[in-house]
Amino acid sequence: MKTIELVTRNELEGRLKDCLEQRQMPDYFLYLDDSGVRNWLTLDSSEEFPVASRLADLLRQNLPSIAQHLSGRFDLVSIGVGSGEKERMLLEALIQRGVTKYFAVDISSQMVDKALNTVADIAVAKTGLVAFLEDLARLRHFWNCPVLLCLLGNNFCNYEPDYLLEIVHDQLEPDDLFLFDCHLFPTQQEGEEPEREQVERIYHSEPNVRFNIDPLVQRGLDQNSCVFHLEILPMETSLGTTYKTNKWIQILKDTAISCGPNQVLFAAGDIIHMGFTYKYTCQQVQDYLQQYGFQKVELFLSLDGDNLLALIQKRPD
C-alpha cells in the first residue's frame, strides 16, 4: 500500500486561512486532522443522523445486482472514501469479478490511511490518493480503464450538480461505470412531520452540529462562543423545485482561529458560511443524468423512497 499526496497538509492549511479570511469554510475542512476523523466516524454511526448508515444498508442489499454488471479486469476508484467500509463491501463482492486495483481518494490523509487499513487483508493492489474531486483529470492517469468510479456517502449532494456531472462525464470512457448514492428529499408518510422539518431535524442533531463546529474549536474557537445555524431553502431549477441546506456559524465574541502558523481574527457578529447539501427527488436525479449525457445501468431505491443508489455510464454519442 502507498499514499500519494496531490494536495499537501500545508496547502490545505493555507487554503483554510484564505477561506476563513473570506468568512467561508467549505465542508471538506470538516474531515481534516485526527479530530475530524473521529467526529465523522461518530456521526457516521449515530442514530440521530442515520443518513450514512441507511445509504450503506442500501449498498449492502444491492451488491449482487451491482456485481452482475462487472466482469473482466477493472479498477475501483472511490472519491471521498471516508473510513472505507463501503469500499470493503464492494471489494468483497467484486474481487472475483476482476477488480485488480483499488484507489482510495480523500482530502484527508488520515481518512485515506484508515480506508487502506480497512481493506488491508484483501488481495488487491491498493493506493491512497490525497486529492479533491476537482483533481479528477489528474487522478485518471493513475487508473486503468475500465473503471468503477464511486462517489458514496451522500457526496453527490454536496456539489453543484451541473459542475459535478460535467467533470465526471469529461473523465469517463464509454466502458466505465459511475456508482453514487444520495439521500433524497424525504417522502412524507401519513402522520409524519413535514419533509423540510424532517431534514432540518436530522441535520440539526447534536452529533452533526458538533461535527460542523469542531474544526474551529480545535483551532481556538470556544464552542460556547458560537452558534451553528441551518435552514432548508427551496431552489428553482430547470428541473423544478429542489431544496438546499444552507449552513453558517455565527461568532458571538472576538476570537482568533489558528491555521498552521497563522491566525485569522474574528469579531463578534461575524458569520462563517459553510457548505451545503442538495435534496433532490428521484425523478430530478434521473433528469439531471439525462441532461448531462448519462444513461442508467441500474437504479436502486430504498423501500421508504428516501435513498437512491445509482449505477450509470456515459450515453453513446
Largest CA distance in the chain: 59
Residue range 59-107, pLDDT digits in tens: 999 999 999 999 889 999 999 999 999 999 999 999 999 899 999 999 9
Grouping H, G, I as helix, E, B as strand and the rest as coil, residue 262 is strand
How much is the pLDDT for 195? 67
What domains lie within the chain, and their CATH numbers? 2-7+36-186+281-314 (3.40.50.150), 195-279 (no CATH)
How much is the pLDDT for 191? 47
Residue range 130-147, pLDDT digits in tens: 999 999 999 999 999 999
Residue range 225-284, pLDDT digits in tens: 999 999 988 988 888 889 999 999 999 999 999 998 999 999 999 999 999 999 999 999
Answer for the pair 74, 90: CB distance below 8 angstroms, yes or no.
Answer: no
**Cα–Cα distance, 83 to 111 (Å, whole number):** 6
| Single-letter code of the amino acid located at 266 | F
What sign does the dihedral 126-132-136-139 (CA atoms) show? negative
Block residue for cell numbers 497563522: 262
- Alpha helices, DSSP H only, in 63-205? 63-67, 85-94, 109-118, 136-139, 161-171, 195-203
Strand partners, 265: 256
Residue range 8-47, pLDDT digits in tens: 999 999 999 999 999 999 999 998 888 888 888 888 877 8
Set of cell numbers at residue 94: 467484486
Please give the average per-residue pLDDT across 114-134, as a whole number: 95
How much is the pLDDT for 187? 64
How much is the pLDDT for 189? 52
| Single-letter code of the amino acid located at 313 | Q
How much is the pLDDT for 197? 77
Predicted TM-score (pTM) of this structure = 0.93
DSSP string across 104-130: EEES-HHHHHHHHHHTTTSSSEEEEEE
Set of cell numbers at residue 207: 452529533
CA atoms within 13 A on the CB side of 26: 13
**Cα–Cα distance, 194 to 174 (Å, whole number):** 41
